Structure 1
């Protein structure tokens, strides 16, 4: 997922920004992946199917930049991801809350979190 976003020209962090501070670039994405769930592929109990949610927080120095990051994120994830040894579905956009302003940062940032469901099976 990170590579797909970077291929669209986005700066991407995982789990937060370095040091928890904001410095340029004034637009970026932060991935907050969950550990996922391995499901049974058959009655035999082999857990090979995988589902996972990832929040992508789209951040900008103003509302337009944050929404631009959200748009680039949707364009990056409009096709199945490539994962070695796996067949992946196209990431499913689960939506998220509306655009918000973070006044705890100086200067303030704008952000919009979007959830994606990722699913795959062995190839």
Structure 2
């Protein structure tokens, strides 16, 4: 029986995104920001451990995460969202766990950030991640 931990799950998502050649920031823009202005930011909730049965063995894990896609225009922002979707389509690997494929929950329309110069476009897409031991 393995107690669920959030960081190995976050690292598995990050690895999948980086394997798709995406520049990933954790909780903020990567440093340095790529000259293309295209990157994704990964935000993870701490999740929760859930009982797998009435015996109350809390080995199941359920969490939400968000991937915010950032680009110099709407088209490249949506292109990143497609790349993220493809990267997260396959199975994720977390040692000692069986991980469900991330469930895409969607997000709002692309938005323009005029508080930076030049303006950037971004879209947050949320996912649900579950695993068991």
* Range of TM-score over shorter length: over 0.9
* Alpha-carbon distance between aligned partners in 2 of 1:54 and 1:84, rounded to the nearest angstrom: 19
Given the alignment, which residue of 8, 14, 18 partners 1:2?
Answer: 14
Unaligned stretches of 5+ in structure 1? none
After TM superposition, which residue ranges in structure 1, 4 or more long, deviate above 4 angstroms?
none
Conserved in 2, the CA contact under 8 Å of 1:22 and 1:105?
no
Q: In 1, are the aligned partners of 2:23 and 2:30 still within 8 Å (CA)?
A: no
Where does the alignment leave 5 or more consecutive residues of structure 2 unmatched?
Answer: 1-12
> TM-score if structure 1 supplies the norm length?
0.93
Query: Aligned to 2:82, what secondary structure does the other structure show?
Result: helix
Residue by residue, what CA displacement relative to the aligned partner does 1:22-45 show, whole Å, maximum 9, x if unpaired?
552411100010000110011111
* C-alpha displacement of 1:73: 0.1
Higher strand proportion (structure 1 or 2): 1
Distance 1:60 1:18 in 2: 13
**What TM-score do you get using the length of structure 2 for normalisation?**
0.86
In structure 2, what is the equivalent of residue 37 of structure 1?
48
Task: Please give the root-mean-square deviation of Cα atoms over the aligned residues, in Å.
Answer: 1.4
How many pairs align?
121
